[in-house]
Amino acid sequence: MTAELGQIALILALLVSLAQAWFGLAGATRGRLDWMHAVPGAVLGQVFFTLLAYLALTWALVQNDFSIAYVAENSNTDLPLVYRLTAVWGAHEGSLLLWCMLMSFWTLAATRFSRNLPLPFTSRAIGILGLVSAGFILFTVLTSNPFERLFPMPGEGQDLNPILQDPAMVIHPPMLYLGYLGLSIPFAFAVSSLIGLESNTTWARWTRPWATGAWICLTLGIALGSWWAYYELGWGGWWFWDPVENASFMPWLVATALIHSLAVTEKRGAFRNWTVLLAISAFALAILGAFLVRSGVLVSVHAFATDPTRGVFILMFLAFVVGGALALYAWRAPKMPPGGGFKLSSRETFLLLNNLFLVVAAAAVLLGTLYPLFLDALGLGKISVGPPYFNAVFVPLMLPLLVFLGMGPYARWKQADGGDMLHRLWPFAVAAVVFGVTGTLLLGGNAGVMVLAGVVLGAWAIFSVLAEPVDRIRKRGLRNGLGGIPRSIWGMLVAHAGVGVMVIGIAVVTVFGVEREVRLAPGDSHEIAGYEFRFEGTRDVTGPNWDSIQGQFQVTRNGRDVTQMHPERRIYRARPDPLAQVDLHPRLRRDLYIAMGDYLGDDYWSIRLQYKPMVRWIWLGAIIMSLGGLIAILDRRYRLGSGKRATNGNRED
């Protein structure tokens, strides 16, 4: 019964989201107030029915209802309850259900917090979101039905993919999806404003919190994925430039550009068309990501089981939704007012320089990711484009960006004073260089130019942030000075510092990390980076749905005990392939990392030992960046939910 219930709920959700699209778009076009007022009701209906479908699948998993194919393929009676709950997004069909539900949640949020915006604008935007939702639900129903029955019903399920039975994997997909789907709101707002030609500045102000919100989720989602890959895949890498990673990284780069260009459009009314284009592109890249992951056009370690008919559907969706938006853009963009002017040297220019580098970086990643496909489609052979290419083109684009990142916040709007900036910033620049050079020397002698540049620029990103509060405190005292900084500025400063933290982590771990694959028998030991790893033997461990062989390692440094580590070679009973379960000894300063490889016979094991200095800083930086975004959203200016309905062009900040 649950399967049928879920199925019906999904179809009803499809119908309500179509109603939402119709009432919103047609209502606004024809000026029918009653239709526009029906939109929030339809949104509630969509939330209700997608939630119902989601709960139906969850219930089926909890109940071990193996008559449903999805449950039989992704669960098992021995699977712990928490993973049965999260198996909903453990494979393609179920993850789409989560996707649809999260989409309805965003729509609900957009409806709630836009009550004070002009009704036609909101109705159109929510109507567009309805079309997007309808597309996703239709995709689920037609190509990837999670409620499909299996006959005959198997007695036992095949279990959830072991590498997904992990805490980070529990929250990574929902977070990432929230990020992708959150980008639909700037998209819908942009398209709605193309139809209604709302004033540049108000439109940008309405969009900013949504863009930032989606960006926060995307940042956290990608960071979680990176962290998961780091300890789960057993290679100790945190970024592989894999097509699927790139698929999440491109929307992030463009969303980051969008946040900055929205600032220019809000302040100056300028570059409206560019900002609209970024809003459309960010969402388009999110859909493109879904296409790359779920269609099988590219080889990837992370890809879902793929099916070309799904690819065809997503492609049609892309052509319809994004193609429609871009056609509208081609038609309406020339009619937009140009906005105000500003000098070549100004905050605006710095924000647009940010856009220049981020968008070119995103385009380069897109080019590298799709190039093998281009050549293959043209019959010019098969090539691989991997990390060496992406590092070679991406890093040089980021270095100048980091220089500007430190300067931008101190350039005045409209017309900046270079002398004033220099005066305020030089002590921090000197401090960054001193810190970077001594830090690199302390870490090790033969560091290259790249690591030096990375550490200096990372330090610059962190130190330059201090100039603002230091100035304020000097002028107005500790309390008034810090209290006087608006939250949006705090948010920016914190996020920029987060970038610095991440960059330092990346530079240090890339250059000073040590990795050795060694062959050890009990009693043997091996030393890397001053740490002595002694292999003391193995013992058998049994878990709820797995058995494993656990290695016992004693780690010492200069003769003193550091820790004991227990990496495992784990076999999940329902699946034959053994899996390395890494053990970590994490510290802010460095991680120690052991992965058990194959048994080589004669008591010998292949063991991968790694020393990862400052690797935590990468994810710490991402968390700080997200925190910055959160602080910025809480700025009073964006509280759209309260106060009276804003009218076009009325600036309240």
Partner 1 sequence: MWRYILPLGILLVLIAFFWRGLQLDPGEVPSPLIDRPAPNFLLQSLHDPEEMVSELDLVGEVTLFNVWGTWCPGCHEEHEELMRLAHEENVRIIGLNYRDDREAAIQWLERLGSPFERSAYDPDGAVAIDWGVYGAPETFVLDHEGIIRHKHVGEITHEDIDQQLLPLIERLREEAEAG
Partner 2 sequence: MKHRQSNPVWHCLLLAVVLLLAWGMAIAGTAPEETFDDPELEERYHSIVAELRCLVCQNESIAESNAELARDLRSRTREMLKDGASDEEIKAYMTDRYGDFVLYRPPVTASTMALWAGPAVMLLLASIGLFIALRRRSQMEDEEVSEEEKNR
Query: Which residues in this chain contact partner 2 in the complex, by CB under 8 A?
Result: 73, 235, 237, 240, 242, 267, 270-271, 299-301, 305, 338, 340-344, 347-349, 352-353, 355-356, 359-360, 363-364, 367-368, 371, 375, 380-389, 392-393, 397, 409, 412-414, 489, 516-519, 576-577, 597-602, 604, 606, 653
Contact residue for partner 1 among 82, 301, 305, 319 (CB under 8 A)? 319
Q: Is 373 a binder of partner 1 (CB under 8 A)?
A: yes
Nearest residue to 242 (alpha-carbon basis) of 163, 300, 164: 300
Q: Give the shortest CB-166-to-partner 1 separation in angstroms.
A: 26
Q: Is 312 a binder of partner 1 (CB under 8 A)?
A: yes
Where is 512: in which H helix or E strand?
Answer: helix 487-512
387 binds, options partner 1, partner 2, none, Cβ within 5 to 8 A by partner type: partner 2
**What residues between 255 and 284 interact with partner 1 by CB under 8 A?**
273, 277, 280-281, 284
- For residue 497, what are its two tokens? 């510092």
Q: Is 298 a binder of partner 1 (CB under 8 A)?
A: yes
Q: For 409, which DSSP code?
A: G
How many other C-beta atoms lie within 10 A of the C-beta of residue 278?
A: 28
271 binds, options partner 2, partner 1, none, Cβ within 5 to 8 A by partner type: partner 2
Q: Give the shortest CB-579-to-partner 1 separation in angstroms.
A: 21
Q: Is 311 a binder of partner 1 (CB under 8 A)?
A: yes
Q: Which residues contact 320 (CB under 8 A, 6 or more apart)?
A: 135
Q: Which residues contact 312 (CB under 8 A, 6 or more apart)?
A: none
Task: Encode burial over 403-429: b for 16+ CB neighbours within 10 A, e otherwise.
Answer: bbbbbbbbbeeeebeeeebeebbeebb
* Residue (16 or 520) nearer to partner 2, CB: 520
Q: Give the shortest CB-22-to-partner 2 separation in angstroms.
A: 38
* Residue (78 or 603) nearer to partner 2, CB: 603
Q: Is 326 a binder of partner 1 (CB under 8 A)?
A: yes
Distance CA 210, CA 193 (A): 15
Distance CA 189, CA 214 (A): 14
* Residue (299 or 521) nearer to partner 1, CB: 299
Contact residue for partner 1 among 31, 63, 77, 323 (CB under 8 A)? 323
Nearest residue to 3 (alpha-carbon basis) of 148, 128, 202: 148
* Residue (107 or 295) nearer to partner 1, CB: 295
Nearest residue to 394 (alpha-carbon basis) of 504, 552, 249: 249
CB 281 within 8 A of CB 183: no
* Residue (299 or 327) nearer to partner 2, CB: 299
Q: Give the shortest CB-381-to-partner 1 separation in angstroms.
A: 7
- For residue 594, what are its two tokens? 């052991």
333 binds, options partner 1, partner 2, none, Cβ within 5 to 8 A by partner type: partner 1
CB 211 within 8 A of CB 199: no
CB 618 within 8 A of CB 226: yes
Nearest residue to 537 (alpha-carbon basis) of 555, 552, 524: 552
- Which residue, chain included where needed, has tokens 């002590």? 427
* Residue (124 or 294) nearer to partner 2, CB: 294
296 binds, options partner 2, partner 1, none, Cβ within 5 to 8 A by partner type: partner 1
* Residue (198 or 266) nearer to partner 2, CB: 266
Q: Give the shortest CB-299-to-partner 1 separation in angstroms.
A: 5
Q: Which residues contact 376 (CB under 8 A, 6 or more apart)?
A: 382
Where is 570: in which H helix or E strand?
Answer: strand 568-572
Q: Is 376 a binder of partner 1 (CB under 8 A)?
A: yes
Q: Give the shortest CB-290-to-partner 1 separation in angstroms.
A: 12
At 446 the three-state DSSP class reads: coil
Angle in degrees, CA 110, 129, 147, rounded to 5: 110
185 binds, options partner 2, partner 1, none, Cβ within 5 to 8 A by partner type: none
Q: Give the shortest CB-44-to-partner 2 separation in angstroms.
A: 37
568 binds, options partner 2, partner 1, none, Cβ within 5 to 8 A by partner type: none
596 binds, options partner 1, partner 2, none, Cβ within 5 to 8 A by partner type: none
* Residue (375 or 562) nearer to partner 1, CB: 375
Q: Give the shortest CB-259-to-partner 2 separation in angstroms.
A: 16
Distance CA 306, CA 421 (A): 53
Q: Is 327 a binder of partner 1 (CB under 8 A)?
A: yes
- For residue 486, what are its two tokens? 């608006």
At 100 the three-state DSSP class reads: helix
Q: Is 315 a binder of partner 1 (CB under 8 A)?
A: yes
475 binds, options partner 1, partner 2, none, Cβ within 5 to 8 A by partner type: none
How far, rounded to the nearest angstrom, does the alpha carbon of residue 152 sit from its chain's CA centroid? Answer: 40
Q: Give the shortest CB-353-to-partner 1 separation in angstroms.
A: 20
CB 607 within 8 A of CB 535: yes
Q: Is 356 a binder of partner 1 (CB under 8 A)?
A: no
Let me know how long the chain is.
Answer: 653
How many other C-beta atoms lie within 10 A of the C-beta of residue 277?
A: 21
Q: Give the shortest CB-102-to-partner 2 separation in angstroms.
A: 24
Distance CA 340, CA 351 (A): 15
Contact residue for partner 1 among 185, 297, 362, 465 (CB under 8 A)? 297
* Residue (4 or 376) nearer to partner 2, CB: 376
105 binds, options partner 2, partner 1, none, Cβ within 5 to 8 A by partner type: none
Interface stretch with partner 1, choices 81-89, 175-183, 311-319, 450-458 (CB under 8 A) = 311-319
Amino acid at 328: L
Interface stretch with partner 1, choices 136-144, 257-265, 326-334, 446-454 (CB under 8 A) = 326-334
Distance CA 517, CA 538 (A): 18
Nearest residue to 133 (alpha-carbon basis) of 110, 109, 102: 102
Contact residue for partner 1 among 301, 374, 388, 477 (CB under 8 A)? 374
Nearest residue to 179 (alpha-carbon basis) of 635, 651, 629: 629
CB 595 within 8 A of CB 608: yes
Q: Give the shortest CB-297-to-partner 1 separation in angstroms.
A: 4
* Residue (48 or 413) nearer to partner 2, CB: 413
Q: For 68, which DSSP code?
A: B
Nearest residue to 291 (alpha-carbon basis) of 258, 251, 252: 251
Q: Give the shortest CB-314-to-partner 1 separation in angstroms.
A: 9
Count interface residues toward partner 1 (CB under 8 A): 34
Distance CA 537, CA 552 (A): 5
- Which residue, chain included where needed, has tokens 């496909």? 373
301 binds, options partner 1, partner 2, none, Cβ within 5 to 8 A by partner type: partner 2
At 442 the three-state DSSP class reads: helix
Q: Give the shortest CB-16-to-partner 2 separation in angstroms.
A: 33
Q: Which residues contact partner 1 by CB under 8 A?
A: 273, 277, 280-281, 284, 288, 291, 295-299, 308, 311-312, 315, 318-319, 322-323, 326-327, 329-330, 333-334, 370, 372-374, 376-377, 381-382
